[in-house]
A and B are shown apart, each in its own frame.
Chain A
Amino acid sequence: MAPRLKLFLPLVIFVVLAGFLYRGLSLDPMELPSALIDKPLPAFSLTALADGRALTRDDVIGEPALFNVWATWCISCRAEHPYLQRLADTGIPIYGINYKDEDQAARRWLQELGDPYRANIVDREGSLGVDLGVYGAPETYLVDADGVIRYRHVGVIDDRVWRDTLEPLWREVLAMAQEP
């Protein structure tokens, strides 16, 4: 290497580094994809909120569905609720995971605000939450017909989130389910 040429080495390294830093500006370091993507929905044996009957994994899989982690202590969940209702009204199956909550309060919430859920799994101890890798409510999991988790959204689902990220994935999962 010519002596002069090697003096360019620091510049080259810096340019590469700057490229990464530029890329970093458009990444969100707090966005954490689920570790369970393309893994089966974890097995559980819990109860239903409405009537206390036993619920297991087999009761809730078989068709594509959304699994929404919520609680009455979660302020954002209240903001999200009306939009979930709208999704449910269009026929999308949504299961609730009532996360570390009081049954009484949860039932009252559903009476007052409406019930968008097919069924609500009572996860009082947060054990299903841990198996799912939930770290806060609300979170929503997209599960396909085979019971495999395809996507997780952390935070409130609103019109923009639905249209930009979830709906395309939802269509994909639906299409897959309709194939023989």
Chain B
Amino acid sequence: MIPELGHFALILALCLSVLLCTIPLWGSWQRNVTAMALAPNLAIGVLVFTTLSFACLTWAFLQDDFSVEVVANNSNSLLPWYYKFSAVWGNHEGSLLLWALILALWTCAVAVFSPQLPLVMLSRVLAVMGFVGVGFLAFSLFTSNPFARLLPGIPADGQDLNPLLQDFGLIIHPPLLYMGYVGFSVAFAFAIAALLGGRLDAAWARWSRPWTNVAWAFLTLGIMLGSWWAYYELGWGGWWFWDPVENASFMPWLAGTALVHSLAATEKRGLFKSWTVLLAIFAFSLSLLGTFLVRSGVLTSVHAFATDPARGMFILVFLGIVTGGSLVLYALRAPAVASRVSFTWISRESLLLVNNVVFLVATLTVLFGTLFPLLMDALGQGKYSVGPPYFNAVFIPLMALLVPFMGVGPLSRWKRDSVRRWQAELLVPGLVTLACALTLPLLHTGDYNLWVALAVLFAGWLVVGLLRDLANRVRNSASLGAGLRRLTPSYWGMVIAHVGFAATIIGVVLTSQYTIEHDLKMSPGESDTLAGYEFRFIDVGAVQGPNFVADEARFVVYRDGREVVRLAPQKRRYLASGSVMTEASIDAGLFRDLFVAMGEPVGVDGAWAIRLHYKPFVRWMWAGALLMALGGFMTVADKRYRRQRTVAREGLREGGVRGAQA
């Protein structure tokens, strides 16, 4: 019964979404306040029924209702309850329902937290999001119904959740990632609503900016978690593979990063309006494209869901309508003439443009590289592979190009600045950074590493730029504390996010350059030393988990004769599926990770193939991403985004339906 209830709730949610994307839109044209005022209520209705539907599916998983196909295929009675819970979105159908749920959440959040928005604008924004909701709910219902039953042949037990997904990281990675993906639909909806109304102005940028920052922050967290999960779960210590599915989440992030910065210029200076709108469309379209790539099977990926051309066709048509439609609207309604705001070559505007150019080129490069095998195949040129060597070779120089400008960005002035001032501010700290960068790699034993020097220089350059600007801002205050308190949350958010970027540079480069990896045959009692850490192999024991059995190797790590940590990697065999999995054991640290994973037994004397890793600064990469996300969230606390309802009424009066001004 419960699954049918869920199914029914899903149908109702679809019906309400259809109403949401039609009635308020019609109302906004007819200036019918009643019709427009329906939008928030409908948004809440969609959320209620999508939540109900999701709850029903969750119930089916928790109750081991193996008559439901997705439960039978992706769960097992032996599974601990929390993995039964996360198994809800560990499959195509359920994850799609999660998509729809999160979209409903965002829609409702816009409805509830935007009292300052003119009703015309609000109803249009919600209608656009309702339309996206129609697409995904219909996709779920018509091609990937999560409530399909296996009747009459109900299996006695489920086939189990893929062991790779039985992990804490995978409980929270998809929801966060989807919060980001779907969150860009808000920026998108604001852009479309503005195009529909023909009003692309600073107010529009101010409204959509906090939503965009939050979505970007969620996406940052989601990608970070995915990378972290790959690192500890896949068993060979890698953290980014440039797989099509990873790129599918990275492209919206890159475009979103450009959007976040371009919105700053649009809000503060009324600049680049058409451009910002285009970026908003672009970022969300890339989210949809990602969904297409992950679920259609046009590209091969290790992470792909069960693929199905019918599903691919559905998303492609939907992508065509959403992106194609909005680009038509853009071509017809976006202002064709640039606003006449002026600025000079040396100004914050120019630097933001540099940011946009670099991130756009990076996005398009990743897009082109990801799709290149498909393009060549379609053109009959044969099969090609584009992998990490290509992406690293083109992506890293692009980021290196960005950093010199990024360091100056925070202390640059709008409209007009001067190189002389930049020199005065940054020449000395820049030289100090250079000196540090050149000497720091000497601390590392072994050969002098130029890449590390460069990374320290880049990260240091970003940080001194920020510190200099902070110093300038608090200089005239009575006390340091007072000065710091006067700074706005959005300024702090920027500082923290930029520091995060610097930390990520350090983490990525130092890990790549200084990692030591030993793959070797070890017997109990033997030991191996890397980077001063002695890994002693004690013994192997058998371990029984809730739904697996495992061999566990026990290691003690010593440094200078003192015990540092005990590590116990496992080789697990999951009972339901019989699949074998490597469970690495990691000692995490601020400056280094120690990593042990076990392969196969070698020979007959109890020896095993063992992988030992010493990974310096690997945590900095994820810590940097965390800081970036934190910065994104922080900007929302800014006062200017919280205004009173009174304004909304004014807005309704003046913000009528005007034609395109161009």
Query: Is there any pair of Cβ atoms, one from A and one from B, under 8 angstroms apart in the complex?
Result: yes
A interface list, Cβ under 8 A from B: 3-4, 6-8, 10-11, 14-15, 17-18, 20-27, 29-30, 32-33
Q: Write out, one digit per residue, whether chain B residues 88-103 have a CB within 8 A of any chain A CB (1) or not (0).
A: 0000000000000000
Taking a contact as CB atoms under 8 Å apart, the answer to whether A25 and B336 are in contact is no
Residues from chain A with Cβ under 8 Å of B312 in the complex: 25
Give the contacting residue for B313; candidates A8, A15, A25; CB below 8 A: A25
Given A11-B331, A29-B299, the answer on whether A3 and B337 have CB atoms closer than 8 Å is: yes
Task: Give chain A residues whose Cβ lies under 8 Å from the Cβ of B316.
Answer: 18, 21-22, 25
Contact of A21 with B336 in the complex, beta carbons under 8 Å? no
User: Is B298 a contact of A7 with CB atoms below 8 Å?
Assistant: no
Name the one of A6, A8, A29 contacting B377, with C-beta atoms under 8 angstroms. Answer: A29
Q: Report the minimum CB–CB distance from B483 to chain A (whole Å).
A: 44
Interface string of B425-452 (1 = CB under 8 A from A): 0000000000000000000000000000
Q: B324 touching A7 by the CB < 8 A rule?
A: no
In contact, A27 and B374 (Cβ under 8 angstroms): yes
Within the complex, the shortest CB–CB distance from A132 to chain B, in Å, comes to 17
Given A25-B312, A29-B298, A29-B373; A10-B278 close (CB under 8 Å): yes
Further pairs besides A25-B296, A27-B374: 12, Cβ < 8 Å: A3-B336, A4-B331, A7-B331, A8-B331, A11-B327, A11-B330, A14-B327, A20-B374, A20-B378, A21-B298, A21-B319, A27-B378
Q: Indicate which residue in B324, B337, B373 contacts A18 across the interface (CB closer than 8 Å).
A: B324
Residues in A with CB closer than 8 Å to B274 are 7
Interface string of B284-313 (1 = CB under 8 A from A): 010000001000111110000000010011
Q: Name 12 interchain pairs, CB-CB below 8 A, sorted by A.
A: A7-B330, A7-B336, A8-B331, A10-B330, A14-B327, A21-B298, A21-B319, A25-B296, A27-B378, A29-B297, A29-B299, A33-B383
Query: Nearest Cβ distance between residue A75 and chain B, in whole angstroms?
Result: 15
* A31 to chain B: closest residue by CB: B383
C-alpha gap A125/B99 in the complex (Å): 50
Measured between C-beta atoms, what is the minimum distance from A47 to chain B in Å? Answer: 30
5 smallest CB-CB distances across A and B, nearest first, come from A24-B298, A3-B336, A11-B327, A23-B378, A7-B331
Q: Which residues of B contact A33 (CB under 8 A)?
A: 382-383
B324, A11: Cβ atoms closer than 8 Å:
yes
Chain B residues positioned under 8 Å from A4 (CB to CB): 331, 336, 662
* A27/B298 in contact, CB under 8 A: yes
Chain A residues lying within 8 Å of B337, measured Cβ to Cβ, are 3
**Interface assignment of B334: CB less than 8 Å from any CB of chain A:** yes
Task: Please tell me if the beta carbons of B320 and A18 are within 8 angstroms of each other in the complex.
Answer: yes
CB neighbours of A30 from chain B (8 A): 300
Q: Which residues of A have CB within 8 Å of B328?
A: 11
Q: Which residues of B contact A24 (CB under 8 A)?
A: 296, 298-299, 374, 377-378
Q: Are A18 and B378 in contact, CB atoms less than 8 angstroms apart?
A: no
B323 within 8 A of A: yes
A3 to B339, alpha carbons, bound, how many Å? 13
CB neighbours (8 Å) of A8 from chain B are: 331
- Give the dominant DSSP class at B's interface: helix
Chain B residue numbers with a CB within 8 Å of A27 are 298, 374, 377-378
Q: Does B353 contact A (CB under 8 A)?
A: no
User: Contact string, B543-569, partner A, CB cutoff 8 A, digits 1/0?
Assistant: 000000000000000000000000000
CB of B292, distance to nearest CB on chain A (Å):
7
Residues on A with beta carbons closer than 8 Å to the beta carbon of B383: 29, 32-33
Q: How far is the CB of B369 from chain A (nearest CB, A)?
A: 14
Partner of A26, one of B281, B285, B309, B373: B309
A70 to B302, CA, bound (A): 27
Q: Which residues of A contact B386 (CB under 8 A)?
A: none
Q: Which residue of A lies closest to B338 (CB)?
A: A3
Would A29 and B300 be within 8 Å (CB), given that A14-B323, A18-B324 are in contact? yes
Q: Is the CB of B309 within 8 A of A25?
A: yes
- With CB as the reference atom, state the residue of chain A lying closest to B297: A29
Contact with A along B244-284 (1 / 0, CB 8 A): 00000000000000000000000000000010001001100
Q: What chain A residues lie within 8 Å of B309 (beta carbons)?
A: 25-26
Which of A4, A8, A10, A20: most chain B Cβ within 10 A? A10
> Once the chains are docked, how many angstroms separate the CA of A48 from the CA of B373?
41
Question: Does B371 have its Cβ within 8 Å of any Cβ on chain A?
Answer: yes
B324 contact set on A, CB distance < 8 A: 11, 14-15, 18
Residues of A within 8 A of B320 (CB): 18
Cα(A80)–Cα(B278), bound, Å: 54
CA A122 – CA B299 in complex, angstroms? 36
Q: Are A25 and B334 in contact (CB under 8 A)?
A: no
Residue of A11, A23, A32 with highest tally of chain B CB at under 10 A: A11
Tell whether, in the assembled complex, residue B319 and residue A18 are in contact, meaning their CB atoms are under 8 Å apart: yes
Nearest chain B CB to A144's CB is how many angstroms away? 22
Q: Let me know if B141 is at the binding interface, CB within 8 A.
A: no
The answer to whether A10 touches B298, judged by C-beta atoms less than 8 angstroms apart, is no
- In this complex, what residue of A is CB-closest to B378? A23
Does residue B375 face the partner (Cβ distance < 8 Å to A)?
yes
1/0 contact trace for B647-662 toward A, CB 8 Å? 0000000000000001
A153 to B36, CA, bound (A): 61
Q: How far is the CA of A160 from the CA of B257 in the complex (A)?
A: 51
A42: shortest Cβ distance to chain B, in Å?
20
Chain A's nearest CB lies how many Å from the CB of B77?
29
User: For the complex, what is the distance from the CA of A10 to the CA of B331, rounded to whole Å?
Assistant: 8
Contacts of B327 in A (CB 8 A): 10-11, 14
Considering the chains assembled together, what is the distance between the CA atoms of A176 and B617 in angstroms?
65
Chain A residues with CB under 8 Å of B336's CB are: 3-4, 6-7
Encode B118-132 as 1/0 by CB contact (under 8 A) with A.
000000000000000
How far apart sit A123 and B375, CA to CA, in the bound complex (Å)?
Answer: 37
Measured CB to CB, the nearest residue on chain B to A17 is B371
Chain B 474-495: CB-based contact to A (< 8 A → 1; otherwise 0): 0000000000000000000000
Within 8 Å CB of A11, what residues of B? Answer: 324, 327-328, 330-331
Q: How far is the CA of A17 from the CA of B319 in the complex (A)?
A: 11
Q: Inside 8 A of A7's CB, which chain B residues have their CB?
A: 274, 330-332, 334, 336
Q: Residues 594-622 of chain B: 1 if any A CB is under 8 Å from the residue's CB, otherwise 0?
A: 00000000000000000000000000000
Most buried by A among B282, B313, B332, B378: B378
Contacts of B374 in A (CB 8 A): 20-21, 24, 27, 29
Q: Specify which chain A residues have a CB less than 8 angstroms from the CB of B300 in the assembled complex.
A: 29-30
Interface centre among A20, A23, A24 (most CB of B within 10 A): A24
Q: CA of A26 to CA of B296 in the docked complex: distance in angstroms?
A: 10
Q: How far is the CB of A38 from chain B (nearest CB, A)?
A: 13
How many Å lie between the Cα of A20 and that of B292 in the bound state?
Answer: 13
A20, B371: Cβ atoms under 8 Å? yes
Residues of A within 8 A of B375 (CB): 20
CA distance A153 to B328 in the complex (A): 45
Q: Which residues of A contact B330 (CB under 8 A)?
A: 7, 10-11
> Min CB distance, B476 to chain A, in Å?
45
